[in-house]
Amino acid sequence: MNPETTVTSDQSSRNVILLLSCPDRAGLVYRISNFVYQCGGNILDLDEHVDPVEKIFFVRILWSPESDSTPLSELEEAFRPLATEFDAEWKIRFTGLKTRIAIFVSRYDHCLLEILWRNSIGEFAVDIPLIISNHNDLAPLAAHYGIPFHVFPLNSANKETIECQEVALLEDNAIDTIVLARYMQILSPRFVKSYQSRIINIHHSFLPAFVGSSPYRQAYERGVKIIGATSHYVTEELDQGPIIAQDIIRVSHKDSLDDLVRKGRDLERLVLAKALRFHAEHRILVNGKKTVVFD
């Protein structure tokens, strides 16, 4: 079983997504669209980008297949020779299959509520089998949405042990992607490495401004006229991962530090939700320290 996806009941409008990057060369669109055509697919959406400096080709194709009954493994098998020839990184997904995510939280509820609510009205293509926290505070919110809530009382002494337990839980639940919804702990490099380009964080500043802790306080003291929030993939370097989405809001001398926190909350939840939607819809390709987002 592919750890990223789970079968949903709605197979009726199942489309196919290919997400691929490889060294650029002539004929790539032709060869890949030919593959789709030979499979009997009709392309509904195609986004293509060539990095003019690095000479890398990026593409996302969405097509409606001739038949809904072809299994994913068969499609992958058919495409593999082309991918090998192009030296590509790639994946194929069905739109009817949902990405399985785990949400990590601490005490703030706004980002968690945002994701759970959006998912409840069908905005995201995700399943949320579990929430992990280092505090009990948000258990009632998880319960309201019927999601199992696991508390791991982390401290400096037990970090390694706890992370092992968390990884075991993630693997048992076939979790593909982790969302840090204002999780106030730093993951170990080993943990990060196991989920490369699959951990999404929200940082409450306009990166690269105000890296690290207390960005609202830093912004308040610097006297900026605009504050921001940034969602990015987590890498081993703190707040340095590839940026997925950013947004901003105006502030003025009238805004206290509390006002910045209040205004920032709205940014944080919207930006994190946007990044998660892009990720769950397979719209993001990582390009070194940057992202290509086909929105």
DSSP letters for 92-109: EEETTEEEEEEEEE-S--
Span from 13-21, 97-105, 108-116, 154-162 in contact with its own copies (CB under 8 A):
108-116
Residues 3-22 that bind its own copies (CB under 8 A): none
Count of other CB atoms within 10 angstroms of residue 1: 7
Stretch that binds its own copies, among 69-77, 88-96, 116-124, 163-171 (CB under 8 A): 116-124
Nearer to its own copies, 114 or 163 (CB): 114
Sequence-distant (≥ 6) Cβ neighbours of residue 162 within 8 angstroms: 152, 153, 154
C-beta of 285: minimal distance to its own copies in Å? 9
Q: Is 172 one of the catalytic residues?
A: no
Amino acid identity at 156 = S
Exposed, middle or buried, 128 (CB in 10 Å: 0-12/13-18/19+)? buried
43: DSSP letter: E
Using rule CB under 8 A, residue 106 touches its own copies: no
Report 43-62 residues binding its own copies (CB under 8 A): 43-52, 58
Nearer to its own copies, 112 or 175 (CB): 112
Contacts of 293 (CB under 8 A, 6+ apart): 244, 245, 278, 283, 284
For 250, which DSSP code? E
Q: How far apart are CA 4 and CA 2, in angstroms?
A: 6
By CB under 8 A, residue 292 contacts its own copies:
yes
- Piece of the chain touching its own copies by CB under 8 A; list 68-76, 80-88, 125-133, 236-244: 236-244
* 67 residue type, one letter: S
Closest to its own copies by CB, 132 vs 285, is 285
Nearest one of 115, 136, 131, 112 to 170, comparing CA atoms = 131
Minimum distance from residue 53 beta carbon to its own copies (Å): 8
Q: Is 174 in the site for its own copies (CB under 8 A)?
A: no
Please provide the DSSP assignment of 163-184 as one string: HHHHHHHHHHTT--EEEESS--
Catalytic residue among 239, 255, 266, 295: 239
Rounded to a whole number of angstroms, the CA Rg of the chain reads: 20
How many Cα atoms within 13 Å fall on the side-chain side of residue 94?
24
Q: Total residues contacting its own copies (rule CB under 8 A)?
A: 65
Q: Does 84 contact its own copies by CB under 8 A?
A: no
Kindly tell me which residue out of 117, 135, 137, 150 binds its own copies, with binding defined by CB under 8 A: 117
Q: For its own copies, which residue of 80, 190, 193, 262 counts as binding (CB under 8 A)?
A: 262
- By beta-carbon proximity to its own copies, the closer residue of 191 and 246 is 246
Bridge partners of residue 127, in order along the sequence: 100
Active site residues per annotation: 239
Q: Enumerate binding residues for its own copies (CB under 8 A).
A: 24-30, 33-34, 36-37, 40-52, 58, 109-110, 113, 117, 121, 123, 144, 206-210, 221-226, 228, 242-248, 252-254, 256, 262, 266, 270, 287, 289-293, 295
